[in-house]
Amino acid sequence: MEPTPRLYFCLLCYQNALVCRHCDRGQVYCSQLRSQKRRKENMKATSLRYQVSFKELLSNVVYGIRRPSCRIDPLFELHL
């Protein structure tokens, strides 16, 4: 008996797609290009959500406290 392909609905282009049981890895997009496009969109959205979150605000405050506002160059010599 030959394995039957799995029919699934691409979540990006809304087309039906087939994948053989041997190659099936739980795909939800009809091509790798579409998968990469969705991943890029998701990462951008996640980044934007993080930037406006309270956690990011605290992270920036802590970074500002730890980082000195002016730095002294150790190679700079004061000649009087």
Residues 35-56 pLDDT 10s: 899 899 999 999 888 877 888 7
Q: Which residues of 13-39 are buried (b: 16+ CB within 10 A; e: fewer)?
A: eeeebeeeeeeeeebebbeeebbeeee
Task: Report the predicted TM-score, pTM, of the whole model to 2 decimal places.
Answer: 0.53
Cβ-contact 4, 21 below 8 angstroms: yes
Cβ-contact 6, 19 below 8 angstroms: yes
**Residues 9-28, mean pLDDT to the nearest whole number:** 83
When comparing pLDDT for 46 and 22, which is higher?
A: 46
